[in-house]
Chains A and B, each alone.
Chain A
Amino acid sequence: MAIVTRIVLDVLKPHQPNALEFACQLADLDASCQVNLLVQEIDDKTQSIILSITGERLDFDAITQHIEAMGGSVHSIDEVDVQGEAAAE
């Protein structure tokens, strides 16, 4: 199965947890995980953000679950970098 090494997500999230807390919690998912968060739009109760997550082997389901646990919802997958398992070996 291909290995996901980078993923860019369009996410809608409440104001709390704030951008820093949100990114830190996602980065804590995996030791190799690096998160870049860009706030695109701020509304009364929500924020639209672009999340760029890189890591050695990203687990998309775990990332989505974590985002949802923080009150966010994934609107779209905007970019992905994947590597074939054979290539990774």
Chain B
Amino acid sequence: MFARLRYLIELSHSHRIARRYFVTNGFDGVLAMLGLLMGFRVSAAISIEVMIGACVGAAVALFMSGLSSAYISEAAEKQHELQELEKSMVTSLDDSAHAEAARLMPWLIALVNGLSPLLLALLILTPLFMVQQQFWPESLVIILPLDLAIIIALVLAFLLGVFIGRLSGRFWLWTGVRALLIAVITALIIFLLNQFMAQS
């Protein structure tokens, strides 16, 4: 089954599309979580349950949005590609691996697009979950779980940048720092906006 799936992925070049979706929507997820966490950080004291509820809600929404949008667009795109190929072949390809790939690959790509922000968001929220479940180690007590979650989000943004660098063959440190810079600027804008709104 996995060999067949691998064959269909290679046949339709879906690994490239899935990889692109993983990075773009993963970055969306990281920035969305960073935005929420920064909002909580600069706001008045909010309970951990409210933070987790809001962040998990946003992560699930990102998952559903990623899943549905990628499926709709990829299913249409793959169907169009199949029709173009059928025109060139002057025959129906209904029983071919190409038709099977056109049916299955949109689901796989959609799953990657949906799961990447969800899983990255859950990773970012780990410190909050640990506090909620009372697993927070005493040695980490000086670091607020919220701060640690923000640090994890920044590290993940950097790692996604490194991943892009490795793919494109560019210097990984530069692409990593560039992604990190975008995340830091986002956090800074949210911080300044909150300061501005608090004053007015």
Question: What are the residues of chain A within 8 A of B12 when measuring CB–CB?
Answer: 16
Asked whether B88 lies within 8 Å of A45 as measured between CB atoms, the reply is yes
- Chain A residues near B (Cβ < 8 Å): 12, 14, 16-17, 43-46, 68-71, 73
12 A-B pairs besides A68-B96, A69-B95, A71-B89 with CB distance below 8 A are: A14-B88, A14-B89, A16-B10, A16-B12, A16-B98, A17-B11, A43-B88, A45-B84, A45-B88, A69-B97, A71-B97, A71-B98
| B91 located at the interface, meaning its Cβ lies under 8 Å from any Cβ of chain A in the complex | yes
Chain B interface size band reads 10 to 19
Give the dominant DSSP class at B's interface: helix
Most chain B CB within a 10 A radius of its CB, from A14, A16, A17, A71: A71
Residues 86-125 of chain B: 1 if any A CB is under 8 Å from the residue's CB, otherwise 0?
0011110101111000000000000000000000000000
CB proximity of B86 to chain A, nearest CB, Å = 10
Residue of A nearest to B88 (CB): A45
A16 vs B85: C-alpha distance when bound (angstroms)? 11
A12 vs B90: C-alpha distance when bound (angstroms)? 10
A-B contact pairs, 22 of them (CB 8 A): A12-B89, A12-B90, A14-B85, A14-B88, A16-B10, A16-B11, A16-B12, A16-B98, A17-B11, A17-B97, A43-B88, A45-B84, A45-B89, A46-B88, A68-B95, A69-B95, A70-B97, A71-B85, A71-B89, A71-B93, A71-B98, A73-B91
